[in-house]
Structure 1
Amino acid sequence: MPSKRHARNGSEHYVVEAILADATVDGVRMYEIKWEGFSDEHNSWVAEQSLSCPDLLAAYHAARQPNRTDLSPFYRILRDAREYHPIVVTNTVDDSGSPEDFTYINASTYTEDVPRPCTPLHACTCTDGCTSACSCVRQRCYDEHGRVCVPEKTALLECGPHCACDAQCWTRVVQHGSRVKFEIRRFPQKGWGVVARAPIPRGTFIVEYIGELITFEEAEQRGAADSARGLTYLFDLDMGCAGDLADFTIDAKRYGNVAHFFNHSCEPNMLLYPVYVEHRDPRLHRLAFFAAHDIAVGEELTFDYSPSCPNSGGAMFACACGAPKCRKRIYM
């Protein structure tokens, strides 16, 4: 085997078939590698100093449009991201290097005025696999591949940390985190967005919407300033409420995860579901995105910011989603 295509993994050597992506992790340039003789499931990230394939590296960089700016500040923001796959950042459009005043977090935080959930989960005692009779669930919401199989906005009930079932229980999907490969990409008209770096089958859990849990009153104050600038990072937790108004809201403007960068589309490819894991308090459910249909490599991940009607009373902005059935306006 030609040494110029080798990569080291301890004392063993493997042959590099292709270089798929690159990212800077803790200041180290990493490359996603497809290994010769192995399926895509075995792709892995390798530090540049561990690669001995200069020809492949040169060809990889020659085939890519160079970034227009230094993305080191952005990768420093992503340094604390505990995603299953490193997030890649690309900007071939302008000189924007990173978002301002944004901190990457991996779980939502509670502000002082938000109470902790008060509807505890009664742990199940299932030991042979949870069924619809399990005290934690009402119906089977995931199929054998862990993909959602109930209508959008249906409450997804997962077994909690004190349940007797093991970590492989079919109910445990969102709590295990995302396995999606993300690329944060700069777009000419929309700014930062997110695209898929690998195919995503329909029904796959994509990511949880993470941010600050705040009161509805606080959300009204923050939202007034943001709406004037056409921004929307507020998500009301109203999917479990009997009325029209939520008591609490998730704000992902300053603190959030990769979902902070999702753009709007009038024909989105993601669906949103309320999720309950540690408790069953309808006021404080989680929010999780799932694939509405099969998503291809390079396809942007989008959701509908505002499916409300024009007479909702909110601010109006021009829509740049480009969907065939674009409504031309976003109402906030």
Structure 2
Amino acid sequence: MNSENPDFLSAPPGIPFPVPLLTPKQEPREEPVQHELQQEQQQQQPNLNDLPSLNLNLNLNLDDIYEQETLPDGFSNFNLLSEAFRTGFTTGLQQLENDVVVEVVDDPNSRAIVPVPEARQSYDNNGPAGAGEVAAQRIQRRYKELVRVADLGLAEQRQFRDLVRRTRMVYDSLRVLALIEEEKRSDVRKVRSDLRASALMRNRGLWLNRDKRIVGPIPGICIGDVFLYRMELVVIGLHGQPQAGIDYLPASMSSNGEPIATSVIVSGGYEDDVDEGDVIIYSGHGGQDKNSRQVFHQKLEGGNLAMERSMHYGIEVRVIRGVRYEGTSSASGKVYVYDGLYRIVEYWFDIGKSGFGVYKFKLWRIDGQAKMGSSILKEALMLRRDPLCFKPMCVFSLDISNRNENVGVRLYNDIDRSNDPMCFEYLPRATFPPFVFHQSGRVTGCDCVNGCVEGCFCFMKNGNEFPYSQSGLLLKGRSIVFECGPFCRCPPNCRNRVTQKGLKNRLEVFRSKETGWGVRSLDLIQAGAFICEYTGVVLTREQAQILIMNGDSLIYPNRFSNRWEEWGDLSLVDPSYVRPTYPSIPPLDFALDVSRMRNVACYMSHSSTPNVLVQFVLYDHNNLMFPHLMLFAMENIPPMREFSLDYGVADDELTGKLAICN
């Protein structure tokens, strides 16, 4: 069967070829859709304008948002970074060369590019948005220009990575806030928190990559990044369709009338799909009823034609896999993993398992990319079941904590024979001198019997807010968090007892060529989740000065950067947002001695764009000058990805790791 010739699309003998129901290839829904959203979500993209909004002040000018971005000069909206594909892929393409217009010879196999014109602002036809004018109707439109972002330097990569990270933090903060509000609602009208968060961000112009259609990798997004919700893919521009499995530039927006596919989602929910990792047989869309059952033959239109045209022009597509994962917060039980770039090498028309004609596309993964995130998820699952299933000779210990943690901390080294982390006494919690407790004053606690409620003593100590969600996620970073302690009557499962319960994720200290020793997890850690405490023996300034002369290794808590200020910061969405400042704490004037006793946190690497933050917490005493250093995830951290902290020093002062950990 000739995949290059569309004339073979006649029906097989004896099988009628009715006019197909041309609908986008829908992915299985994450959870039941509420009554008021069914009409919107049956479309290719729901109308998010109709979703109820959070109680936030949204009178934020779009221009103010763009002014807050801190990209380098010349890099706004990918200007000077992007390379535009040939416009319309037609003859007579004009290219600027030294301010002179020249003709480009048409070649169907060419990958010719033209410079990107001046970057578009998010303006309407009448000019820039006025002050206070809502920009939703202008920013929701996606432009037709196809571009590729290439040749980014290290500084630019960090800038875009940080932009994506901050955008995802805003999304997670809004989603958790929406979830908290829904818990308080007494009526039955509920809207999914992920839809509400994305609607707010779109209305404030915070969706990324809407001004151009990016072909190939998205700046700031790495292979292996994990997303808990489909709408998050839309927010960052990795896949622009909330439900459709094929994202493409429609023919109506293309200058030559040909659609181009940019990304696909492979979730294993369709009977004719075959996923072998590096090779995928991807079935097309169309001819399906509302229950995603094939009831008509497919036609070479819409996303199917876009896939064929991408194959013809040699344009790669991004592949995102929907993978079932135990413990995820979505009702579907899936997470979405970006697995890199694939080329469409072949397509054909075949009779599917349902008995109707289906288009099938063969995708090959491009060589030279990082390992697939979905493969890492599977390997991490195998390691959780059997820690010795891979390279058992490289596992130096199954638990360097010697059962001092709730779960074992594995030590892995496949580079050399060093086992230094086993030479220290493991310290699961920081050790404070006795005077810290004696100087805490009169310690009181709440009288809650079944768990803390609004208005209780511990609730008021945290500024009349709960610091954590019901599932234990940090809602907002703050100068200090008061957890319930030994003088509180609430039970151990109280929502205000999170960090004192200790480690719950299976962590691993591993040897790295880049960072010496590093730390990673065998579990997926959700943004805002508690990881572990940074422990050591607490010393006063005088004691620390004495030990410095002995060459001992000390960590100074006041040097950690205030990354907690970023977590839960909604200033881009709500200009009236005020960062929690109650209670204020004095400058910390103590050190942690980790020269003899330490825990897994001491092996975390330094980064100026970290994925872990330090949050100060009190629970066993009330001395504000000596808080615990608790570590929380700043983003969804996939299994086997290294943790990183901002130790408050310049990158050129470290080689990626504190000296104590080398």
Partner secondary structure for residue 517 of structure 2: strand
Which residue, out of 119, 124, 138, partners 2:441?
119
**2:625 matched to which residue of 1?**
283
Which residue, out of 469, 485, 492, partners 1:143?
469
Which residue, out of 385, 401, 408, partners 1:86?
408
Displacement of 1:79 after TM fit? 5.0
1:188 equivalent to 2:188? Answer no
The 5 A counterparts of 1:230-249 are: 233-236=555-558, 243-244=586-587, 246-249=588-591
The CA distance in 2 between the partners of 1:90 and 1:102, in whole Å, is 16
Displacement of 1:193 after TM fit? 1.1
Gaps of 5+ in 2: 1-324, 328-380, 563-582, 658-662
The one-letter code sitting in structure 1 at the alignment partner of 2:485 is G
The 5 A counterparts of 1:16-165 are: 40=326, 60-61=389-390, 64=391, 66-67=393-394, 71=396, 78=400, 80-99=402-421, 101-111=423-433, 116-137=438-459, 138=462, 139-151=465-477, 153-165=478-490
Displacement of 1:169 after TM fit? 1.1
Q: Is the 8 A contact 1:237 1:250 kept in 2?
A: no
When normalised by structure 1's length, the TM-score is 0.66
Displacement of 1:101 after TM fit? 5.0
Displacement of 1:298 after TM fit? 0.8
The one-letter code sitting in structure 2 at the alignment partner of 1:131 is V
Q: Count the aligned residue pairs.
A: 256
Q: Output one character per residue of 1:13-50: Cα deviation in whole Å (capped at 9) or x when no partner.
A: xxxxxxxxxxxxxxxxxxxxxxxxxx8579998899xx
Give the 3 Å change call, closer, same or farther, for CA 299–119 of structure 1 in structure 2.
farther
Give the 3 Å change call, closer, same or farther, for CA 117–45 of structure 1 in structure 2.
farther
Q: Is the 8 A contact 1:234 1:251 kept in 2?
A: no
**2:543 matched to which residue of 1?**
218
The CA distance in 1 between the partners of 2:446 and 2:435, in whole Å, is 31
Displacement of 1:103 after TM fit? 0.8
Q: Is the 8 A contact 2:612 2:644 kept in 1?
A: yes
Task: Point out the structure with the larger strand share.
Answer: 1
Gaps of 5+ in 1: 1-38, 49-56, 311-315, 322-332
The 5 A counterparts of 1:199-210 are: 199-210=524-535
Q: Is the 8 A contact 1:117 1:284 kept in 2?
A: no
Q: Is the 8 A contact 1:195 1:299 kept in 2?
A: yes
Partner secondary structure for residue 544 of structure 2: helix
The one-letter code sitting in structure 1 at the alignment partner of 2:648 is S
Q: Is the 8 A contact 2:559 2:647 kept in 1?
A: no
Q: Output one character per residue of 1:164-215: Cα deviation in whole Å (capped at 9) or x when no partner.
A: 2111111010111121110110011322110111100000000011110110
Give the 3 Å change call, closer, same or farther, for CA 189–221 of structure 1 in structure 2.
farther
The CA distance in 2 between the partners of 1:112 and 1:123, in whole Å, is 20
1:317 equivalent to 2:653? Answer yes
Partner secondary structure for residue 284 of structure 1: coil
Give the 3 Å change call, closer, same or farther, for CA 117–296 of structure 1 in structure 2.
farther
The CA distance in 1 between the partners of 2:413 and 2:429, in whole Å, is 27
Partner secondary structure for residue 488 of structure 2: coil
1:257 equivalent to 2:593? Answer no
Q: Is the 8 A contact 2:451 2:493 kept in 1?
A: no
Displacement of 1:220 after TM fit? 3.4
Partner secondary structure for residue 420 of structure 2: coil
Partner secondary structure for residue 213 of structure 1: strand
The CA distance in 2 between the partners of 1:183 and 1:141, in whole Å, is 28
Give the 3 Å change call, closer, same or farther, for CA 136–91 of structure 1 in structure 2.
same
The CA distance in 2 between the partners of 1:278 and 1:115, in whole Å, is 8
Give the 3 Å change call, closer, same or farther, for CA 120–187 of structure 1 in structure 2.
farther
Give the 3 Å change call, closer, same or farther, for CA 43–116 of structure 1 in structure 2.
farther
Q: Is the 8 A contact 2:479 2:616 kept in 1?
A: yes
The one-letter code sitting in structure 2 at the alignment partner of 1:216 is R
The CA distance in 2 between the partners of 1:127 and 1:100, in whole Å, is 42
The CA distance in 2 between the partners of 1:213 and 1:281, in whole Å, is 13
**1:175 matched to which residue of 2?**
500
The CA distance in 1 between the partners of 2:589 and 2:437, in whole Å, is 11
Displacement of 1:217 after TM fit? 2.3
The CA distance in 1 between the partners of 2:393 and 2:446, in whole Å, is 53
Give the 3 Å change call, closer, same or farther, for CA 84–226 of structure 1 in structure 2.
same
Partner secondary structure for residue 283 of structure 1: coil
The one-letter code sitting in structure 2 at the alignment partner of 1:257 is N
Displacement of 1:254 after TM fit? 1.6
The CA distance in 1 between the partners of 2:434 and 2:480, in whole Å, is 27
What is the alpha-carbon root mean square deviation over aligned residues? Answer: 3.5
The one-letter code sitting in structure 2 at the alignment partner of 1:142 is Y
The one-letter code sitting in structure 1 at the alignment partner of 2:644 is T
The CA distance in 2 between the partners of 1:100 and 1:201, in whole Å, is 29
The one-letter code sitting in structure 2 at the alignment partner of 1:320 is G
The CA distance in 2 between the partners of 1:97 and 1:157, in whole Å, is 37
Q: Is the 8 A contact 1:183 1:196 kept in 2?
A: yes
**1:29 matched to which residue of 2?**
none
The one-letter code sitting in structure 1 at the alignment partner of 2:601 is A
When normalised by structure 2's length, the TM-score is 0.35
Q: Output one character per residue of 1:101-144: Cα deviation in whole Å (capped at 9) or x when no partner.
A: 52102222235786644234312112353234211232211011
The one-letter code sitting in structure 1 at the alignment partner of 2:653 is F
Displacement of 1:222 after TM fit? 3.5
1:293 equivalent to 2:619? Answer no
Partner secondary structure for residue 639 of structure 2: coil
The CA distance in 2 between the partners of 1:284 and 1:107, in whole Å, is 13
**1:12 matched to which residue of 2?**
none
The one-letter code sitting in structure 2 at the alignment partner of 1:319 is T
The structure with the larger Rg is 2
Displacement of 1:159 after TM fit? 1.0
